[in-house]
Amino acid sequence: MFCLAESHVLLGETDLIWCFNEPGVLNNFVTTCDSDHNEGYSSCGFDVSPAGRALFHGYLDTRVPKDGRVKKAGYCALRSKRIRKSFKREATYNWNLYNTIVLKVRGDGRSYLLNISCEGYYDITWNDIYHYVLYTRGGPYWQIAKIPFSKFILGSKGRIQDKQTRMRLDRVTHFGISCGDKINGIFNLEIEYIGLEYDPTHDEDFAYEMYKTDRYIVGV
């Protein structure tokens, strides 16, 4: 279900991107883990929870395969599918009217990584992802997390970049959640909805330093 209105934004209201009140909404996402690529032993799934919402669940295993190739293991990820226009042409989300992403979740006390991908002009930027750590409560209560886009930090292939840039909100391709907190065991993250909001009190452009470095740095 995609129920986002891009024509106008009402202050204080959340426009839903995905509302997990129907099983069919889960088909907009795919899951992956290290065992899918023969790089570990973790497993995960994305199913309907007993409460009728979405449940990202699985088992995180940090054991490293003894193949002499893999050095680290233990990750499970959930990611939205690429949206498309007619004739299967790739499209992007335009979130320029908003400055905050909103999630209603019920966690297990673990920390999860929120991931947003944007379309780049060059292939060298195709692995760039903006990250934010979501800390969940380990109880029976739901929590609503409101995270400004300015708080997401730029990384590439899991490495934080020295040169930070703001997110291209008009070129968003994917949204995802990953579990990789290096703690062996079962994880469960229940999600009711993911939406967008405009907070007029938030005027921060980007939370991290954006500075220029010398083109050539030579040690003496």
DSSP string, 46-86: EEE-TTSSEEEEEEE--PPPSSSS------EEEEEPPPB-G
What's the whole-model pTM score? Answer: 0.88
Can you give the pLDDT at residue 10?
Answer: 76
DSSP E strand stretches across the chain: 15-19, 29-33, 43-48, 54-60, 76-80, 100-106, 111-118, 128-135, 143-148, 153-156, 159-160, 172-179, 185-197
Can you give the pLDDT at residue 143?
Answer: 96
Q: How far apart are CA 155 and CA 111, in angstroms?
A: 18
Q: How far apart are CA 76 and CA 200, in angstroms?
A: 35
Nearest to 143 by CA among 108, 179, 187: 108
More confident site: 218 or 117: 117
Query: Once rounded to an integer, what is the mean pLDDT over residues 200-207?
Result: 92
Residue 151 confidence class, pLDDT cut points 50, 70, 90? very high
Q: How far apart are CA 140 and CA 77, in angstroms?
A: 23
Query: Once rounded to an integer, what is the mean pLDDT over residues 60-87?
Result: 94
The superfamily (CATH) of domain 15-197 is: Galactose-binding domain-like (2.60.120.260)
Query: Once rounded to an integer, what is the mean pLDDT over residues 129-135?
Result: 96
Residue 28 confidence class, pLDDT cut points 50, 70, 90? very high
pLDDT of 1 over the 70 cut: no
Q: Of the given ranges (5-9, 10-14, 208-212), which has the lowest mean pLDDT?
A: 5-9
Query: Once rounded to an integer, what is the mean pLDDT over residues 14-22?
Result: 95
Every domain of the chain and the residues it spans? 15-197
Can you give the pLDDT at residue 128?
Answer: 86
